[in-house]
A = this chain, B = another copy of it.
Amino acid sequence: MRSAESKSSSTTKTSVLVHNAYGKSGVRLTKVIRHADYQELKELTANIQLEGGFEGSYLEGDNSQIIATDSMKNTVYVLAAEHPLTTLEGFAQDLALHFLKTYSHVTEATVHLVEDLWLRIPTDGKPHPHAFVSAGNEKRIASVVADREGVSLQSGIDNLVVAKTTDSQFWGFIRDQYTTLPEVRDRIMATSIEASWLYRAETKVEAEKIDFNKNYDTIRKIILDVFATHNSLAVQQTLYEMGEAVLAAVSDIEEVTITMPNQHRIAFNLEPFGKKNQNEIFFPIDEPFGLISGTIKRGA
């Protein structure tokens, strides 16, 4: 919509609507898939944004081109009833394409899905067929932007909270009049990883060949492995190492973006109490926090 500028209707008006979008956020869906001997519990939150010929509503309150956000919400449930929900990415894509197909004045549809993850409760040494315990705040994400040209598919992990108690260093940085931080050869590294990867596929046909679930599992494992085993000289370095390993392992992926807040553990000063802190006693702080990001792309 940024390109298509809509001249304000009144001749005396001198303002233009250069971008508009609207949609429904926070559409929470639970689907139970009942098999003979076990059940699946899928829970996700859908956020939908549409762009297109909606200027009438903005400029004159003419809603004749408006798809009510309530109707978007209904659409999520109606489509979910028919959809196998095998992959989050598949459902995101089908939702986005639905809006383009159904409404000719929609030029772009963005569907962002956030999945709450459940684990089966172990009982009698095996996973229970229909009882679940939350996997915590970590989320699986799928985000699809579709227009008349094709689709852009991103998948991700959010809030993967990790910490390591050694094999993290930070030294050799700029020391000037604003620097008080000591160099450290052994610190705690703690972060909440957000990673998203862009698929190379740009059409539904290409997307159908992708094993999204396998890729998700692979990438999550790589990120955890690199975090655990990399002897880090900087959060930046660990981040890049993760991205490089992901691109090397998953050929479907074009680009990966990782964001890692540095959730600091500060050494507590025990000297006033006649003790030495043997790199053992810390206090976590939520703020301020370092925030490190990077996008790593497949080379030519």
Q: For residue A38, which residue of chain B has the nearest CB?
A: B165
Residues of B within 8 A of A180 (CB): 70-71, 74, 272
Inter-subunit contact A281/B164 (CB<8 Å)? no
Among B32, B74, B287, point to the contact of A165 (Cβ < 8 A). B32
Which residues, 284 to 298 on A, are CB-close (under 8 Å) to B?
Answer: 284-298
Which residues, 54 to 99 on A, are CB-close (under 8 Å) to B?
Answer: 54, 57-75, 77-78, 80-81
A49 within 8 A of B: yes
Q: Chain A 178-203, CB within 8 Å of chain B: the 1/0 string?
A: 11110000001000000000000000
Residues of B within 8 A of A27 (CB): 283, 287-288
- In the bound assembly, the distance between CA atoms of A56 and B288 in angstroms comes to 24
Minimal beta-carbon separation of A252 from chain B (angstroms): 15
Minimal beta-carbon separation of A45 from chain B (angstroms): 8
Inter-subunit contact A295/B19 (CB<8 Å)? yes
Among B103, B133, B173, point to the contact of A162 (Cβ < 8 A). B133
Among B25, B166, B172, point to the contact of A261 (Cβ < 8 A). B25
Minimal beta-carbon separation of A196 from chain B (angstroms): 13
A26 within 8 A of B: yes
A279 within 8 A of B: yes
Among B281, B286, B299, point to the contact of A16 (Cβ < 8 A). B299
A158 within 8 A of B: no
Among B8, B73, B132, point to the contact of A299 (Cβ < 8 A). B8
* Contact A280-B131, Cβ < 8 Å, known A16-B297, A236-B22: no
- In the bound assembly, the distance between CA atoms of A41 and B69 in angstroms comes to 25
- In the bound assembly, the distance between CA atoms of A173 and B135 in angstroms comes to 33
A277 within 8 A of B: yes
A sample of 23 cross-chain residue pairs with beta-carbon separation below 8 angstroms, ordered by A number, consists of: A14-B247, A14-B299, A16-B298, A21-B294, A22-B291, A24-B291, A25-B261, A25-B288, A30-B188, A31-B282, A34-B166, A41-B165, A61-B237, A63-B171, A69-B262, A71-B174, A71-B178, A74-B180, A121-B227, A131-B227, A134-B138, A177-B274, A178-B273
8 A-B pairs with the lowest CB-CB distances in the bound complex, closest first: A136-B136, A61-B233, A26-B287, A131-B228, A134-B161, A14-B299, A69-B290, A70-B181
A: residues with CB less than 8 A from B are 5, 7-8, 13-34, 39, 41, 43, 45, 47, 49, 54, 57-75, 77-78, 80-81, 102-103, 118, 121-123, 128, 130-138, 160-167, 170-174, 176-181, 188, 224-225, 227-229, 232-237, 239-240, 243-244, 247-248, 255, 257, 261-262, 265, 268, 270, 272-275, 277, 279-299
